[in-house]
Amino acid sequence: MRPDTPADHISEAERLLRTATQYPEDGEPLLLQAAAHLELAGDRERASTLYDRLLASAPERPFLVKALQAANLWEFGHEAEARALITGIRSAAPADPAPWEIVAETLEAHDELDASHECFTAAVTLLLPPGDEEVPYEVQPLLTGRHRVRRLLGHAHDGWDGLADRLHSAQSAIPLDELHDPKRLWALGSDNPAELRAEIARLRSELGSYRSALSRPFPVAVLHWPEPELTELLAAHPELESEYPTHAAHLTDIEASLRDLASTGTANLGIVTAAVPSYEAFAASEGSSPADADLLPQFTTTLAARGHAVAWPPHRTAPCWCGSGTGYRECHGGADF
């Protein structure tokens, strides 16, 4: 069950903080989740303290932490400090799309539409692949956000707005122009039942993907054993040979399983890469034997919940998830699979 009240969010934040203490190697994603729950509970000062704690520990994604801190500080009444962080992020031009999105949406939320538009445009210019290459999933929200802000500003469509429309139309029957029409919000104050029903339909379409993501906070993940790790695992626990007859078959099963899940509409798919010492330690913590095949799904879910899942599928030209070094399109992303 998802937290629904401030008290629930505080309890969830406390749980995540305890887990971060237990698993310090996974501290960054756990502390970020805890800070998010504190913000939702209205405890922005404590959330700010957590962001400062992360920044002091040299995080893996410093610009993401700074962007979240800036958004939190602005809501917390520290606008000048938030602006300073935003300026620093924009000057650094990170290759991570998430800080750009957070910063641009923060500016948008505070009616800084021109600055938000400049931020979205700078991010798309930096991160959009050239030519006809597939747009990475994590870059698509930048195009959508830019489209939204340009509608609010009354700008005419350009090529990137058209691209945002095409990407959106593949997922929703409601046109992006309609969702981003500033006038549609006026319908919320209407006493016309037909207008209210139409607005509810629009909002359901717009929020459907977010509701799905909230109901599944961690990826639906599949376990991947690199060849040296699988060799070590089977040497130590030959009872698992029925699960993994060969390494090549194991890799094929991973891709097939993920494609089957995707074909049924399952979103938020990922792959977690396993190591034998970690698996054996997990088995010990569960009071079970590593040879017990029923433990493997639990191990996979635990790794995913601790932030170790890598999103699937990779971009077509990105290295394949299997570790071969070959591009995904030429490896497990090819038509043969």
pLDDT at 240: 94
- Per the CB < 8 A criterion, the answer to whether 103 and 69 are in contact is no
Kindly state whether residue 335 falls inside one of the protein's structural domains: no
Sign of CA dihedral 299, 300, 305, 308: positive
Quote the strand ranges of the chain, DSSP E: 220-224, 269-273, 310-311
CA dist., res. 265 & res. 59, Å (int): 34
pLDDT at 250: 95
Same domain, 198 and 49: no
CA dist., res. 49 & res. 292, Å (int): 42
- Per the CB < 8 A criterion, the answer to whether 139 and 124 are in contact is yes
Quick one: DSSP state of residue 155? P
Question: Could you tell me the residue range of the domain that residue 239 belongs to?
Answer: 220-330
Low-confidence ranges of the chain (pLDDT < 70): 1-4, 173, 183-191, 195, 199, 202-219, 335-337
Kindly state whether residue 279 falls inside one of the protein's structural domains: yes
pLDDT single digits (tens) 166-186: 988 877 767 888 778 776 645
pLDDT at 202: 64
Same domain, 186 and 315: no
Same domain, 58 and 201: no
Same domain, 47 and 36: yes
Kindly state whether residue 1 falls inside one of the protein's structural domains: no
Taking alpha carbons only, the member of 219, 276, 223 closest to residue 250 is 223
- What CATH number did the domain enclosing 150 receive? 1.25.40.10
Taking alpha carbons only, the member of 308, 278, 302 closest to residue 290 is 278
pLDDT at 188: 52
**In 131-274, alpha helices (H):** 140-153, 159-169, 176-179, 193-215, 227-236, 247-263
pLDDT at 114: 94
Q: pTM here?
A: 0.61
